[in-house]
Amino acid sequence: MMSLNSTPQTCQEMLEEFYDNPRETTVREMIFAGVGKRDVYNITSPFIEGGREIVIGRVEARDSEFSQVFFFQRDQNIWHPREHTHTYPLQDPCIARIEDEYVFGGVEVIPSLDDPDKIVSWVTQFYRGKTIDSLCHFASGPDKMKDIRLVTLADGRIGVLTRPQGKIGGRGQIGFTIIDKLDELTVEKVESAYIMHDQFIPEEWGGANEAHLLSNGWVGVLGHIACFDQNQNKHYYSIVFALNPETMEKSPMKIIAVRADFPPGPEKRPDLEDVIFSGGLIRSEDGRALLSVGVSDAEAYQIDIPDPFLEYEQAVLPTAQEA
């Protein structure tokens, strides 16, 4: 039986386990057009809308943090902005299917009134609609909270992953709560989420990037763990873990991808060279999965890896309903 609720592992400890278990991978760069000289990174996984493959990405000048989120449509191997689809002044898009609707989110950054180039706060904004061209704003997250993610649970309710920082969350912890319907996604509900304080040591941090309902009723969480080195360079790694939404039992986290999995390339700043940001994961029936990531805050890639959630479905775990 898989061990649950272990003490937090550091980035270095998880890296050692990761490199002790080599796996076969295939890497593909995402090529974008129609955005001028701006970078496209921190993409979602592709999804099908109107019979066409769509991906959402953060579009940004190399020397700026003020971005636009575009919906891209693939034409052969090139991704072009989707015609007549709204763009959003947001960072780090996410998308999920909830209550037979798309729920699209992104982070709005708020500049200083005295210095428009200085970011003083940020808020996650949410939109919903039957199609991506009918999205309407319906909810906002708490001040200075990123990485809020939604998933439909086995009983039809909605799981909400959160990431408080500061007095409650330090550099960034992962929280979880359950709502009955989308109309209950409020600041108060998000702020009341149970915080999993035993996942990161105080010097490190992380967050959820996407959630998957597993066959046993548990929630498979795709996310990231991050740390600084002695030179204040950032290091971000893709991770997963499994969560029982009824009992809050969870598996240890494990790293599933690192910057070294991808070819050398540009970075937004020197301190962001060793950064990948999980965007989304598509599971296949053959035991593989396609992970979409932003790389060094400048590029976007996909990597084919062994399905990291299979072990949680195959382990001897109580179903969420049995717990």
**Measured CA distances, 278 to 131, 170, 189 (Å):** 24, 21, 25
pLDDT tens string 186-212: 999 999 999 999 999 999 999 999 999
284 touches 182 (CB < 8 A):
no
**Measured CA distances, 70 to 107, 180, 204, 271 (Å):** 13, 30, 31, 26
pLDDT band of 29, cuts 50, 70, 90: very high
Residue type at position 300: A
Across the beta sheet with 91-98, the strand order is 91-98, 101-111, 119-129, 136-140
289 touches 281 (CB < 8 A):
yes
pLDDT band of 160, cuts 50, 70, 90: very high
pLDDT tens string 35-73: 999 999 999 999 999 899 999 999 999 999 999 999 999
Tell me how many degrees the CA angle 64-294-6 measures, rounded to the nearest 5: 120
Q: Residue-wise over 39-60: b if at least 16 C-beta within 10 A, else e?
A: bbbbbbbbbebeeeebbbbbbb
Q: Is the dihedral of CA 215, 189, 255, 288 positive or negative?
A: positive
pLDDT band of 1, cuts 50, 70, 90: very low
Euclidean distance between CA atoms 302 and 154, whole angstroms? 29
Across the beta sheet with 194-196, the strand order is 149-152, 158-162, 174-179, 194-196
Euclidean distance between CA atoms 225 and 235, whole angstroms? 8
7 touches 55 (CB < 8 A):
no
User: What integer best gives the mean pLDDT of the chain?
Assistant: 95
pLDDT recorded at residue 64:
94
What are residue 242's DSSP bridge partners?
220
Specify the pTM.
0.95
Is residue 183 scored above 50 in pLDDT? yes
First to last CA, the chain: 15
